[in-house]
Each structure stands twice: as C-alpha cells, then as structure tokens.
Amino acid sequence: MMANQKGACECRQETEEQKYQRISRVIEEYKGREGSLIQILHMAQGIFGYLPLELQQFIAQKLDKPLSEIYGVTTFYSFFATKPRGENTIRVCLGTACYVRGGKKIIDRLQEILSIGVGETTGDGKFTLEVMRCIGACGLAPAITINDQVYKQVNPDKLQTIIEKYY
C-alpha cells in the first residue's frame, strides 16, 4: 500500500539550479565544436521547455559568444520558443497550396476558438498557435499539425471537433 495520498505524484521536480547545472554540462561537452550552437539550444529547450532571455544570456556567457548571436539563432528558427509553449502545439500550414485553399480562414477560426493570436498560448496552457511555411501535404491542403499529428483537408467547421480531442 502506498504511504502517500492516492493520486499524489511521487516524481521529483528539477530545480532551476539543477536545470542550469545540466545545461552547463551540455555546453561543456559541445563547447568549441563547429556548428554546435543549434544542438545546445535544442538541448536547453528540452531541459527548460523554452529559451527565455536569461537562459540565452547564460549560454552566451558560457560559450563566450555575444548574446546577439544566441538571440539571432533562437528567433530565426521557428522550432525555438522564447516563451513557454502550451501542452499542445497547433501549427497551421501557410505554404502556397494551403494558403490558397483557405489557410488564413483556418487561422482566423482557431484564433476565435482558442481566444489567442498566432504565437500565443492559451491561458490554461493547453494550446500554442503557430504558423508553418509548408508541411508537405500540398495535395490535401489546407493542413494543420497538432503536436506530430497531421490533419489534412481541414476546414473551419472541423476545427472545434479536432480541438476537443486534446482536452
């Protein structure tokens, strides 16, 4: 029989200090390797969930690089986040085929359903809304992804049903 309350989590949450120690070890392992910044940023985002400015400053200092370089890479690539993301990331394809077949209407409807704008996260932390340039489903446009699941031939009327699967 369990000693603690039913349903209580027995997992140990990592402290900020422990997270910074982990990323320090990663930086030491990759420091000096050509082209390692993106790998370090990926690992840092895996540890922290996103790349806040304080973490970018820490990485810049440890790598002896200007903050502008770290920030430039972080903000250039869409897979890096500078703010906490939701539990589920919705990405709307805005490649040519998806855009022409109603991608903008999909975004408009999602913003209405979720009450957030592109790049924002719902107040309950459940969803983040983003756009992508192309997901390779052009023949079945418009398309969206939620996490790694692709939804093809989406129309605004289908969105509420799709979203409800994630609650």
Q: How far is CA 151 from CA 20, 86, 102, 132, 154, in A?
A: 37, 19, 14, 14, 7
Domains in the chain: boundaries: 16-76, 88-164
Chain centroid offset of residue 6 CA: 32
pLDDT of residue 4: 44
Which DSSP state fits 133?
A: S
pLDDT tens string, the chain, 167 residues long: the values are 444 444 444 556 889 999 999 999 999 999 989 889 999 999 999 999 999 999 999 999 999 999 999 999 999 987 899 989 899 999 999 999 999 999 999 999 999 999 999 999 999 999 999 999 899 999 999 999 999 899 999 999 999 999 999 99
Confidence at residue 12, expressed as pLDDT on a 0 to 100 scale: 67
- Asked if residues 142 and 93 have their Cβ atoms less than 8 Å apart, the reply is yes
Residues 6+ apart with CB under 8 A from 36: 30
Per-residue H/E/C for 61-113: HHHCCCHHHHHHHHHHCCCCCCCCCCCEEEEEECCHHHHHHHHHHHHHHHHHH
CA pair distance 144, 131, nearest whole angstrom: 9
CATH topology of domain 88-164: Glutaredoxin (3.40.30)
Residue among 30, 26, 32 at smallest CA distance from 55: 26
